[in-house]
Structure formats: structure tokens, C-alpha cells
């Protein structure tokens, strides 16, 4: 929902209004539900938006489910679903690419994979590129926040000279912050790195806190060998699992392009579910909530559901304002 017009609000009052994270936003007093009928809910109740992938035991996407086929649990308690959608909607996508020295021989495959991904995406998706080594370098031309033009994206992917070390955590912080500027409600990061982190100011704990407060779904691709002393597949796997994305560790560069094909397909075959968390639970005492979603197509059938596993009530803007995350 976009609002027109301007309203002057002091920073202090703005943070008071944002008593919940951008991920858990106030719902308008009257909003159309999935069946077209309006539902009413007080404007002070938060909403939690889940981006959900569902597959059967054979790994095939299940795309014909309805609202009645899902159950949502927060901290083990069932929550009523107030909005449901299975439409392929546009996404704001950030391609976050390791540009450290050891990525030089892998760069060509990553660029081709990024372009293949863009070609398979929704034509209304908007993209940005972040290259990182010792420093964070936005890939798009100066002043351009996003693009939907393939040639512009191609130039951004080819920009940079692989060298230096790996500021992975700083790059994710920068990219999550940039995602907040995107016009599309659904937001995704694809992070490609050949190792861990050795120069960031932000810590992994900082990154986890931002992911919990963000709406982003994160896919991670680890391009490293077992001999790489800086490799950290556990960190990449945790970021993907926490946000509802997926983690990939290709055994060869020939697998990179098929992985990006898979990610594009996954993004376009996801459900969106919105629920209102229990208003009787004090956010100050239970800042981080756990989430579990069940889905079925027929009685007794088990489907594999992938969505974020946690969210935080701490405002995203507050976390960014904390010293090194500015």
C-alpha cells in the first residue's frame, strides 16, 4: 500500500510509531481478504507477512493450495490467517556478489548466472547489485537505486575487479538496508560468496538481528573448497534457513547457472500469508518469535514447507541506528 502526501514527524516520534519492525506492520482498518470480502481489524495490531515455498516429497512445487490448506504457528500457538495469495507478484531483488581476489576465476559463471536469473524473473521485478571485497560497491550507475533493464544489470554485474578480502556481513547489512527502499513488498537477496568474513565491522550477530527484523528472503550460494580457511557454510546456511530462502553449495562451477534457474523458479512459485500475532503477548518480553507453517493437499499427506523461522519486533530502523550498522 502506497501513501501519497507528506507528513512532518520528528525522528523520536517516528521511532515511537515504529514500535514494531518493518516486518510486522500495522494493518489498515479495512483491507480486502483473499475471498474479496473486507475484514476489519484495529490499526494498532501488527501483521506478519510470510513468503512460503511448498513442495511434495518428490521436490515438485505445489502451487494450487488454498488458505484452508495452511496452518500458522507462532511460538507453538496457532494464529488466524488474515490474508492469503498465490499470485506471482513482482519482487525487489538484490544480487550480492563476492568480489574478493579468490573469486576471479569464478566471476564469469556468476555473471552469466545472474543474467539468466534476470531473464527468468517476473518482468516487473526491480534489481540492484552489490559487489563486496574490503569495501562495499553498488554496481548500478551513480544515482540509480534499482533497474529493470537487462543491459544495465549486465554492466553492473561485470563491474569491479576481484581483489582483496571479504566483508560479507557488511555487504548484507548494506543490502538489507537498500532493500527497504524497493517499491515491491516482496524482497529477496541472493548472496554469492566463496568464504566467510575477515574484514567486516558488523558481526554475524548483527546480521542475524537485521534478518529477523527484515522482510527479506535470502538465498545463499557458497563457492568455496574444503581447503578454504575462511569458508563458513554454517553462516550461509543459517541466513537462508532463518529467512525462508535456501542454501546451495555447488561442487563445480557448472552447477551455478542451474542453481540460479532454481532460485528464479522458487521465487515465482511461493505463497504469501499474512497473520496478526497474539496482541496479549508483550513484545518487550518476547521480542523474537518463532514461526512454523504446516501445509497439506489431502488428509495424511506431508508437504515440505519453507518459510522464515523467526521474526523480531525490534524496529529495523533502530537496529540500523546502532553505531556500526549506520
- Please identify, among 251, 267, 283, the residue that sits at the C-terminal boundary of a domain: 267
81 and 38 in a common domain: yes
H-helix or E-strand spanning residue 178: helix 168-179
CA distances from 131 to 12, 96, 163, 252 (A): 34, 6, 11, 22
208 and 141 in a common domain: yes
Q: How many domains does the chain have?
A: 2
- Please identify, among 231, 251, 267, the residue that sits at the C-terminal boundary of a domain: 267
pTM of the entire predicted model: 0.85
24 and 115 in a common domain: no
Q: Is 164 helix (H, G, I), strand (E, B) or coil?
A: coil
Contact criterion met (CB below 8 Å) for 313 and 285: no
DSSP state of 250: -
204 and 116 in a common domain: yes
Lowest mean per-residue pLDDT among 80-84, 299-303, 306-310:
299-303
179 and 303 in a common domain: no
Domain that holds residue 75: 11-87+269-325
100 and 78 in a common domain: no
pLDDT higher than threshold 80 for residue 22: no
**pLDDT in the model for residue 182:** 95
Residue 6 lies in a domain: no
Q: Which residues contact 45 (CB under 8 A, 6 or more apart)?
A: 26, 27, 276, 279
What is d(CA 75, CA 255) in angstroms, rounded to the nearest whole number?
37
The C-alpha cell that represents 319 in the structure block: 537496529
CA angle 205, 209, 212 (to 5 degrees): 135
**pLDDT in the model for residue 273:** 96
Q: What is the CATH number of the domain that holds 250?
A: 3.40.50.410
Residue 63 lies in a domain: yes
Contact criterion met (CB below 8 Å) for 166 and 132: yes
- Kindly report, residue by residue over 49-107, the tens digit of the pLDDT: 999 999 999 999 999 999 999 999 999 999 999 999 999 999 999 999 999 988 888 98
Amino acid at each position: 500500500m502506497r501513501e501519497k502526501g507528506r507528513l512532518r514527524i520528528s525522528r523520536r516520534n517516528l521511532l515511537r510509531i515504529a514500535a514494531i519492525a518493518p516486518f510486522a506492520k500495522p494493518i489498515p482498518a479495512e483491507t480486502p481478504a483473499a475471498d474479496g470480502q473486507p475484514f476489519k481489524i484495529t490499526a494498532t495490531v501488527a501483521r506478519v507477512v510470510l513468503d512460503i515455498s511448498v513442495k511434495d516429497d518428490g521436490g515438485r512445487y505445489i502451487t494450487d493450495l488454498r488458505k484452508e490448506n495452511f496452518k500458522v504457528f507462532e511460538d507453538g500457538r496457532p494464529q488466524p490467517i488474515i490474508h492469503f495469495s498465490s499470485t506471482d507478484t513482482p519482487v525487489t531483488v538484490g544480487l550480492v556478489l563476492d568480489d574478493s581476489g579468490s573469486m576471479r576465476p569464478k566471476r564469469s559463471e556468476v555473471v552469466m548466472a545472474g543474467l539468466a536469473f534476470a531473464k527468468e524473473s517476473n518482468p516487473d521485478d526491480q534489481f540492484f547489485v552489490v559487489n563486496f571485497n574490503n569495501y562495499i560497491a553498488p554496481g548500478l550507475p551513480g544515482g540509480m537505486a534499482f533497474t529493470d533493464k537487462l543491459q544495465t544489470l549486465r554492466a553492473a554485474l561485470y563491474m569491479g575487479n576481484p581483489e582483496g578480502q571479504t566483508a560479507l556481513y557488511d555487504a548484507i547489512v548494506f543490502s538489507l538496508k537498500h532493500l527497504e527502499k524497493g517499491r515491491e513488498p516482496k524482497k529477496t537477496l541472493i548472496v554469492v560468496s566463496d568464504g566467510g568474513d575477515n574484514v567486516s565491522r558488523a558481526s554475524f550477530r548483527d546480521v542475524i538481528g537485521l534478518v529477523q527484523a527484515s522482510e527479506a528472503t535470502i538465498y545463499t550460494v557458497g563457492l568455496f573448497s574444503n581447503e578454504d580457511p575462511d569458508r563458513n557454510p554454517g553462516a550461509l546456511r543459517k541466513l537462508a534457513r532463518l529467512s525462508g530462502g535456501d542454501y546451495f553449495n555447488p561442487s563445480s562451477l557448472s552447477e551455478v547457472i542451474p542453481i540460479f534457474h532454481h532460485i528464479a523458479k522458487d521465487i515465482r512459485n511461493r505463497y504469501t500469508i499474512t497473520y496478526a500475532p497474539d496482541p496479549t503477548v508483550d513484545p518487550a518480553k518476547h521480542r523474537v518469535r518463532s514461526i512454523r507453517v504446516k501445509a497439506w493437499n489431502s488428509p495424511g499427506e506431508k508437504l515440505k514447507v519453507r518459510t522464515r523461522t523467526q521474526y523480531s519486533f525490534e524496529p529495523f530502523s533502530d537496529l540500523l541506528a546502532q553505531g556500526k550498522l549506520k
